[in-house]
Structure 1
Amino acid sequence: MKKIHIGLLPRIIIAILSGIAIGNIFPAPLVRVFVTFNSIFGEFLNFSIPLIILGLVTIAIADIGKGAGKMLLVTALIAYGATLFSGFLSFFTGASLFPALIEPGKSLEEVSEAQGILPYFSVGIPPLMNVMTALILAFTLGLGLAALNSNALKNVARDFQDIIVKMISSVILPLLPLYIFGIFLNMTHSGQVFSILMVFIKIIGVIFVLHIFLLVFQYCIAALFVHHNPFKLLGRMLPAYFTALGTQSSAATIPVTLVQTKKNGVSADIAGFVIPLCATIHLSGSTLKIVACALALMIMQGMPYDFPLFAGFIFMLGITMVAAPGVPGGAIMASLGILQSMLGFDESAQALMIALYIAMDSFGTACNVTGDGAIALIIDKLMGRTNKKTEETSQS
């Protein structure tokens, strides 16, 4: 018998629909069973977040840092700038539209406590370090490993990364649908699920329009460098876009992205360097989604927010997301730490963020990889011009 594999997104959709369908049927004692599980799992998630950051960001920084040369620096700066632009675009759009679309309400914790839905017992699992300590330690180790000639400590860090990835894929992601089921079961039992679903639909609609605008804007900028029709350039990248929609993986889409980027006129050596690198460090689509979802959930729960708060969050998110492509579950797992430490998201809000993010995971990945082609066009023009001047100088 062939084993049927159900992907993460279908399992989360089933969990959400099941929680909504039986939330009004389950008696309170049974609901408390799932609330108890969520309490324990939430503690484990809080314990895991600093380890996830340390395990994933350290090697990501070390692997990028071992490269050298002007092309690496220019590509990294452009990719980071594009990621920041998408984050601020998402914030300003959301700050303008969401207050009219979303009605502020109580926090998720207050909803549960108001209905008396408390766990039967709780287990405290304090993390080994706070999130900012883990981030600074990861940056320090990553940069140090990049500068060392020895591979001894790097191999230890890589083994630790493998352990963290195994923990995510074997423990966190399999239990995640059950955790989200418990969240929606509790919200349905508390009578709050309808307002939450309306928020979901509105956010998804706004983000879909935003990610189309972002791609058009990126290729308009690239067209200024190469003097071609931006819509023709973007059109040639559609095979990569739709491949990413199906695979939900930047890495799996690299071969298609390479071919289509070359068809846009990018030289083979530039494309071969920029496309794999940007698959790791350029995450405009993912950043756009996370910022929009975080802002919407903060407005929904009546949490205070302002531009300085989100500016710091976006700058830090752009760095933290470097670890995202190597993580099963994507950028949202790498960003949980700063969602908690900088925006004050509790376990319930983190679970909703994960559900919202994964619901649009394909579109974010497609936006990321298609945007890689625009960056390759810019780098090809900049580096090609520099290389040509160098050759002319040496010949003279």
Structure 2
Amino acid sequence: MKKLMRKWNQISLVKQIIIGLIMGIILAITIPQQAKPIIIFGSLFVGALKSIAPILVFFLVMSAISQHKSGHQTNIKSVIGLYLLGTFLAGLVAVVASFMFPVTLTLTEGVKNVTPPGGVVEVLKALLLNVVDNPVKALFNANYIGILSWGLVLGLALKNAPDSTKTMITDFSDAVTQMVRWVINFAPLGIMGLVFDAIATNGISALLGYGQLLAVLIGCMVFVALVVNPIIVYINIRKNPYPLVLKCLRESGITAFFTRSSAANIPVNMRLCEELGLDKDTYSVSIPLGATINMAGAAVTITVLTLAAVNTLGIKVDMPTALILSILAAVCACGTSGVAGGSILLVPLAASLFGIPNEIAMQVVGVGFIVGVLQDSCETGLNSSTDALFTATAEFAKWRKEGKEIDSKKVA
């Protein structure tokens, strides 16, 4: 058994995850009833990540800000600029794709007991209120905007604290980081349970009736991941962007695909940034921030589902109005919660731009939840992997200006 465990530990985490993925698919297809208990592995894995992530973010941000030395430059502004640009371009890609491949829907029964936001102002208001949320409540509810803001404020307040206090905070941060590493080591088992649950519960057949919609949604996300994002990266670092793009998709996108939560994937992105040798002062803030405002996949989902509703109802839309939709989708996406299905609930808000009544819009939301098994997984994989990608891009762009070489071994 020890030899087996030693050989298993020598395999890279990505290969371990792929093995877990294959095992989950095989068990779901062959013996779904007998293997049902393995679902608990997925629940435990996601639950552990979601539990530890808020504490990790709080201590990382507080430690990074308190230890920050005056004159040391971070890349937060550049990263935020890349987040906003990527989200807008994703919405634009979705508009073009929806015009090229118009989709109509067979409307389903609306989702009950769910109240979508009434407008962009309401989304932004909720976002601002989250900033000043009770810090204990923010930690309890995994409100990352609140955690981020209080971590920043406490970090600033502790800048003049004794070195012993700062060392203690750093030690707590390192300890929580180690706990996260232990949790991530169980990713293969967790993903085996998650993929088994998805296939055994929903089946593949439930998605076949919405094949065209899924093709447009996933096609847009793949295009953003493999064409738009590499172009953005190349413009900034002036090197072949694909090694970095593929590493982020492989190391971050795969786990995010199965956990379906940008928030739960924050520890994975933190570890990836550390592997890439990035500035901790930057990524300890930019990664949790990205889990809230870097939502390219959400912009695609909001835009495609809204224009599908427009096509279904026979509403004529000109290109300028569709461009306004892409901007609205980008703004709405920034207010999307970092949990599964968060973007779908913003479709009624975007649909109101075309005068679509809430009753119809909620039926579109119902369709969104049907295809959500694949849509939300792809969306989260794109969102979360791009958090690490753009953080690394901003850092590498800075290195290029300083004449510092990028370590190709770390990027490969």
Residue of 367, 370, 377 corresponding to 2:392: 377
The question of 1:221 aligning with 2:235 is answered no
Question: 1:251 aligns to what SS in structure 2?
Answer: coil
Q: Which residue of 2 aligns with 1:255?
A: 267
The offset of 1:340, in angstroms, is 4.3
Tell me the equivalent position of 1:291.
Answer: 303
User: Matches of 2:125 and 2:284 in 1, distance apart?
Assistant: 32
Match of 2:81 in 1: 77
Which AA in structure 2 matches 1:269?
Answer: D
**Could you tell me how far 1:230 is from its partner in structure 2?**
1.9
The amino acid of 1:207's aligned partner reads: L
Residue 240 (str. 1) matches residue 244 (str. 2): no
AA aligned opposite 2:86: A
Please tell me the residue identity of whatever aligns with 2:381: A
Give the letter for the 2:244 counterpart. L
How has the CA–CA distance of structure 1 residues 6 and 201 changed in structure 2, closer, same or farther, with 3 Å as cutoff?
A: farther
Report if aligned partners of 2:279, 2:395 keep a CA contact under 8 Å in 1: yes
What letter corresponds to residue 243 of structure 2 in structure 1? K
- Deviation at 1:304? 2.7
Change in 2 beyond 3 A, CA 1:356/1:294: farther
Counterpart of 1:204 (choices 200, 211, 214) is 214
Cα distance in 2 between the residues matched to 1:360 and 1:88: 18
Cα distance, 1:132 vs structure 2? 5.3
Contact 2:84 2:294 (8 Å CA) reproduced: yes
- Distance in 2, matches of 1:355 and 1:298, equals 19
Given that residues 226 and 377 in structure 1 are in contact (C-alpha distance below 8 angstroms), is that contact kept between their aligned partners in structure 2? no
Establish whether residue 131 from structure 1 lines up as the match of residue 124 from structure 2: no
Q: Which residue of 2 aligns with 1:276?
A: 288
**How far off is 1:79 after superposition?**
0.8
Task: Report the alpha carbon displacement of residue 133 of structure 1 after superposing the two structures with TM.
Answer: 5.7
2:342 aligned with 1:330: yes
Structure 2 counterpart of 1:179: none
Structure 2 counterpart of 1:255, one-letter code? P
Displacement, 1:327?
4.6
Letter in 2 for 1:223: Y
Q: Does 1:342 align with 2:342?
A: no
Q: Quick one: distance in 2 between partners of 1:83 and 1:270?
A: 20
- Structure 1 residue ranges without an equivalent (≥5): 9-62, 113-124, 165-195, 389-396
Moved more, 341-350 or 242-251: 341-350
Does residue 355 (structure 1) correspond to residue 376 (structure 2)? The answer is: no
User: Closer, same or farther in 2 for the Cα pair 1:250/1:2, shift >3 Å?
Assistant: same
Name the CA distance, whole Å, in 2 between partners of 1:82 and 1:221. Answer: 8
The count of corresponding residues between Structure 1 and Structure 2 is 274
Measure the CA separation in 2 of the matches of 1:138 and 1:242: 30
Match of 1:36 in 2: none
Quote the residue 1:316 is aligned against. Answer: 328
> Counterpart of 2:13?
none
Equivalent residue for 1:96, pick from 97, 100, 106: 100
- CA contact 1:293–1:356 (8 Å) conserved in 2: no
- Structure 2 matches for 1:31-42, cutoff 5 A? none
2:313 aligns with one of 301, 310, 327: 301
Partner Cα separation in structure 2 for residue 351 and residue 305 of structure 1: 23
Q: Which has the higher helix share?
A: 1
For 2:79 and 2:101, how far apart are their aligned partners in 1? 33
> What does 1:22-171 align with in structure 2 at a 5 Å threshold?
71-98=75-102, 102=103, 130-131=118-119, 134-135=122-123, 137-138=125-126, 142=129, 154-155=133-134
Structure 1 268/387 Cα, relative in aligned 2: closer, same or farther at 3 Å?
farther
8 A contact 1:94–1:295 mirrored in 2: yes
RMSD (Å), alpha carbons: 4.5
From the superposition, tell whether residues 269 and 223 of structure 1 become closer, same or farther in structure 2 (CA, over 3 Å): farther
- TM-score w.r.t. structure 1 length? 0.56
Q: Secondary structure in 1 aligned to 2:134? A: helix
Counterparts of 1:212 and 1:204, CA distance in 2: 12
- Name the structure 2 match of 1:25: none
Deviation at 1:85, TM superposition (A): 0.2
Q: Displacement, 1:332?
A: 1.8
Contact 1:270 1:379 in 2 (8 A): no
Residue 82 of structure 1: how far off its partner (Å): 0.8
Q: Secondary structure at the match of 1:252?
A: coil
Q: Is the 8 A contact 1:294 1:353 kept in 2?
A: no
1:333-383: per-residue Cα shift (whole Å, max 9, x none)? Answer: 2x1441342232523233223333454111110011111222112321455
Kindly indicate whether the alpha-carbon contact (under 8 Å) linking 2:74 and 2:281 is maintained by their aligned counterparts in 1.
no
- Residue 325 of structure 1 aligns to a residue whose secondary structure is coil
How far the C-alpha of 1:240 sits from its partner, in A, is 1.1
Describe the shift of the 1:323–1:133 C-alpha distance in structure 2 as closer, same or farther (beyond 3 A).
Answer: closer
Q: Which amino acid in the other structure matches residue 97 of structure 1?
A: F
Q: Distance in 1 between matches of 2:387 and 2:39?
A: 34
Q: Secondary structure at the match of 1:313?
A: helix
Per-residue Cα deviation, 1:259-312 (whole angstroms, up to 9, x for no partner)? 333444533333323222212110112211221222223213323323233323
